[in-house]
Copies of this chain bind each other. A is one copy, B any other.
Amino acid sequence: MSSTFAGVTGATPAMEAGGERSRAWPHRHLLDTDVLTWPQIELLLDTADVMGEIVARRRPRSETLRGIGVTNLFYEASTRTRVSFEVAAKHLSADVVNVGVSGSSIEKGESLLDTVRTLESLGTRVLIMRHAISGAPYLAAREFGGSVVNAGDGRHAHPTQALLDLYTLRRRVPGGSLRGRKVVILGDVLHSRVARSNLWTLTAAGAEVWLCGPATLLRGFEAWAAAGVGGDRGFTASSDIGAALRDADAVMALRLQQERMAAGLLPSLHEYSARYGLTRDRLALAAPGCLVLHPGPMNEGVEIAADVAAGPGSLVTEQVANGVAIRMAVLSLVTSVSLRPAS
């Protein structure tokens, strides 16, 4: 009774945990969370638990990806996500190479597909990719023989962020389930790949999801909310921050992406902060013990007050720490498909 999951990687987390799995992970790439079924999400979160145990060791090291080439291809600036993937891959004993825009052929105008083919020929088996253009990782995945993991593409998707958010929430919410819990995503929804990817995972988890922000930063989402996201899953889009926060179990404040926002969407930072900043007063509207998340980097004093970011319900630090375990789980699962022997 062999497991698809085991693949060829030898020491998979499932095996390390000594367990056996009938649930299979079918995805060679991780481009967004929209295609993940709830059992697949649970498999990933369970795998992250195993990975978390490896991370907690004094000398965290698994042999899962020993000798496997992993490349961080980042066309946009990043500290936390790039380092998180780098640390995760090294914990799995992968050989990691970093390619950024500065100092690379990308400066010479090399095309994305040429770069992708080149990296594959150089031995890359997992391509972790951040790109300013929505959909770029899908284009890469069509060409690439290994696994592509989307580390953020334009406004579109940031699947590992959504998965680590879900993982972090589930570990903290009483009872361990988000079913029926009210989760508010607050702020610049329009430009947020984090919001989009979270929408899929949070609704899959059965949460009651509210998207809240100025009307100009919610454009299109009201119509989407009215149409639903498929099955019995739906969400609410509203500019009424009072209604959104009332009795919320968790609030995720989004970064105000000043570098992306076209002029005219907001009157001023100050007014934005006054009307939609997550302050202690506003948080008092939420349910007692309301959890607070932020994908980082934070603009403290803009979308989130410093005392809320450092407050008792804040999970910001846990999000970052859990990100390593989630990314180890993702790397392990996608390679269980892409490195499977041809047999």
A298 touches B121 (CB 8 A): no
Determine how close the nearest CB of chain B comes to the CB of A267; give it in whole angstroms: 21
Q: Which of B77, B111, B122 is the one whose CB lies under 8 Å from A105?
A: B77
Total copies of the chain: 3
B95 touches A321 (CB 8 A): no
A66 touches B77 (CB 8 A): no
Residue of B nearest to A111 (CB): B300
**Chain B residues with Cβ under 8 A from A71's Cβ?**
83
**Chain B residues with Cβ under 8 A from A119's Cβ?**
79, 83
From A12-20, A53-61, A277-285, the one touching the partner chain is A53-61
**Chain B residues with Cβ under 8 A from A95's Cβ?**
87, 90
Residue of B nearest to A69 (CB): B87
A103 touches B105 (CB 8 A): no
B86 touches A97 (CB 8 A): yes
B122 touches A320 (CB 8 A): yes
Q: Which of B55, B101, B115 is the one whose CB lies under 8 Å from A103?
A: B101
B121 touches A79 (CB 8 A): no
Q: Which of B90, B297, B317 is the one whose CB lies under 8 Å from A110?
A: B297
Determine how close the nearest CB of chain B comes to the CB of A331; give it in whole angstroms: 15
Q: Is the interface of A mostly helix, strand, loop or mixed?
A: mixed
Chain A contributes a number of interface residues (CB within 8 A of B) equal to: 58
**Chain B residues with Cβ under 8 A from A74's Cβ?**
103
Task: Using known A-B contacts A122-B321, A320-B122, A324-B122, determine if residue A79 contacts B105 with beta carbons closer than 8 Å.
Answer: yes
Residue of B nearest to A309 (CB): B114
B67 touches A121 (CB 8 A): no
Residue of B nearest to A117 (CB): B317
A101 to B78 CA separation, bound complex (whole angstroms): 10
Within 8 A of B (CB), among A229-284: 259
Within 8 A of B (CB), among A1-39: 8
Which of A57, A58, A103, A296 is packed against the most chain B CB atoms within 10 Å?
A103
Contact pattern, A 295-327, Cβ under 8 Å of B = 1, otherwise 0: 011111000000000000000011011011000
